Amino acid sequence: MRNGVTQGYVTVAFGSRKFFEMAVNLALSVRLNDPGRPVCLIHKASQEVPADVAGVFDDLAAFPADDEDAYDGTALKLIIDRATPYDETFYIDSDCVILKKDMQRHWATFANSDFMVCGEKRTEGNVYSLNVPAMMNAAGIDYFVEMNSGVIFFRKSQLGDRVFETARDLYRNRSRVFTEVRSGRGDGINDQAFFGAAMAACGIEPISYPASNGALMATTYRARNIEFDL
């Protein structure tokens, strides 16, 4: 808690057992590396959380029942603001773990933000197989934020709420320009395009970490035999 403001981590898990087990790994890494802050599992109201999983988390929260069926796959992240129990939240994908005991510097970096990700502004080319100028035109924005939304910081505030509402509006009224190719694979529509456009619509520019400061997040997709310098 900071000046009476609650801070914590949230992640999402639903469906098969393996997704809950990944969320447990994340929760244990929070307990190890940032024990002063709680971690919450957000789940579908229609699915019971296994008891052994629930016991690892400080808090459990369900997506609003009226909403959970309206969003596909990772697009459920568009409604995490409606479920988080904290005033300031770090959302982390359930397939991630925290590796270092330095999360305080990341909380400090994001302390003055209402909604923030690491990323970069784009005005041309393609992102996630989507055409950037086409998305800019569809959303009426001057740039698009390319990101990995595996880590998102947000707070309960007027501007933070506006980002989520804008992203949801784009989702509900989306044209094909915001629909990622992966949606045809059965794992849902990616959230990143909607957040990337919503940030621009709200005048929020992403942050980046200088190489000398180390990264907030390292993606190890399909990587093997990795060594981390902790």
Question: For the segment 44-99, what is each residue's pLDDT rounded down to a tens digit?
Answer: 999 999 999 999 999 999 998 888 888 878 889 999 999 999 999 999 999 999 99
Domains and their CATH numbers in the chain: 1-111 (3.90.550.10), 114-215 (no CATH)
The answer to whether residue 155 scores a pLDDT higher than 80 is yes
> Residue 138 is encoded by which pair of tokens?
């569809």
**The residue to which tokens 């100028």 are assigned:** 133
**The residue to which tokens 């989702």 are assigned:** 171
Opening angle at CA 108, ends 197 and 146, nearest 5 = 20
Q: Please, is 112 exposed, middle or buried when counting C-beta atoms within 10 Å of its C-beta (0-12, 13-18, 19+)?
A: exposed
The answer to whether residue 174 scores a pLDDT higher than 90 is no
Which run of H or E residues covers position 126?
strand 126-127
Q: What is the mean pLDDT of the chain?
A: 89
Confidence of residue 186 (pLDDT cuts 50, 70, 90): very low
Instruction: Output the pLDDT for position 226.
Output: 72
11, 42 in Cβ contact below 8 A? yes
Instruction: Output the pLDDT for position 211.
Output: 66
pLDDT in tens, 102-139: 999 999 999 999 999 999 999 999 998 889 999 999 99
Amino acid identity, residue 185? R
The answer to whether residue 184 scores a pLDDT higher than 60 is no
DSSP of 141-201: -S-EEEE-TTEEEEESSHHHHHHHHHHHHHHHT--GGG--GGGGGTS---SHHHHHHHHHH
